Amino acid sequence: MFFQRLKFLRQYGIIVVLIVLVIFFSITTSAFLKTENLFNITRQVAMLGISAVGMSFVIITSGIDLSVGSLISLSNILCAKLMVEGGVNPVMAVFITLLMACLVGLVNGAFVNLANIPPLITTLGMMTTLRGISYVLCNGYPIWGFTEKFRVLGQGYVGPIPIPVIIMILIFILGWMFLNKTVYGRYVYGIGGNEEASRLSGINVKNMKYLVYILCSFLTGVAGMIMLSRMNTGQPKVGGGFELEVITAVVLGGVSIFGGQGKLIGVLIGVLILGVLGNGMIIMNISEYWQQVVRGLVLLAAVGFDNLSSRNLKNT
Partner 1 sequence: MKKDVILSVRNLIKNYPGVTALDNVSIDFMRGEVHALVGENGAGKSTFIKVLTGAIQADSGEVELEGVVHSGFTPHEALFDLGMAAIYQEFNLVPDLTVAENVFFGKEITRGPFINMKRMSSETEKIVNRLGMKINPRTLVKHLTVAYQQIVEIAKAVSKNVKILIMDEPSAPLTTNEVEHMFELVRALKKEGVTVIYISHRLAEAFELSDRITVFRDGKHIRTMETDKTERRELISLMVGRELGETYPKKRYDSDEVILKVHELCTEELLKNISFELRKGEILGFGGLVGAGRTELARALFGADPTESGEVFLRGRKVHIRNTSHAIGVGIGLIPEDRKRHGILSEMSVKENISFSAYRNINTFGFIRGKEEERISNDFKKKLDIKTPDLNRKVKNLSGGNQQKVVLSKWLATQCEILIFDEPTRGIDVGAKQEIYELIKDLAEEGKGIVLISSELPELLGMCDRIIVMREGEITGSFMRGEATQDKILDLASGE
Shortest Å, Cβ 211 to partner 1: 11
Show the CA angle centred on residue 209, arms to residues 206 and 212, nearest 5°: 155
Report the residue number, 26 or 307, with the smaller CB distance to partner 1: 307
Instruction: Scan residues 198-257 and list those touching partner 1 (CB under 8 A).
Output: 198-204
Yes or no: say if 138 and 81 are a contact pair by the CB < 8 Å rule.
yes
Q: Select 81 or 186, whichever has its Cβ closest to partner 1.
A: 186
Amino acid at 107: V
CB atoms within 10 A of CB 309: 18
What is the smallest separation between the CB atom of 192 and partner 1, expressed in angstroms? 9
Residue 165 neighbours by CB under 8 Å, 6+ apart: 39, 42, 43, 46
Taken in order 199, 203, 204, 205, is the CA torsion positive or negative? negative
Pairing relation of β-strands 233-234 and 161-162?
unpaired
Q: Is 312 in the site for partner 1 (CB under 8 A)?
A: no
17-56 footprint of partner 1 as x/- string (CB under 8 A): ----------------------------------------
Question: Are 216 and 105 in contact, with CB atoms under 8 Å apart?
Answer: yes
Minimum separation from the CB atom of position 312 to partner 1 (A): 15
> In one letter, which amino acid is 278?
G
* CB 258 to partner 1: min, Å: 10
Four-residue CA torsion sign, 227, 34, 16, 285: positive
Residues in the chain: 316
Nearest to 94, CA basis, from 75, 113, 110: 75
Q: How far is the CB of 189 from partner 1 (least distance, A)?
A: 6
- Least Å from the CB of residue 44 to partner 1: 33
Q: Pick out residues in 252-281 that bind partner 1 (CB under 8 A).
A: 260-261
Complex with partner 1: residue 190 or 275, whichever CB lies closer: 190
Q: How far is the CB of 135 from partner 1 (least distance, A)?
A: 39
Site for partner 1 in 161-180 (CB under 8 A): 177
Q: Residue 176 class from Cβ within 10 Å (0-12 exposed, 13-18 middle, 19+ buried)?
A: middle
Helix (H, G, I), strand (E, B) or coil at 157: strand
User: Which residues in the 178-207 window bind partner 1 by CB under 8 A?
Assistant: 181-184, 186-187, 189-190, 193-194, 196-204
Q: Which residues bind partner 1 (CB under 8 A)?
A: 177, 181-184, 186-187, 189-190, 193-194, 196-204, 260-261, 316
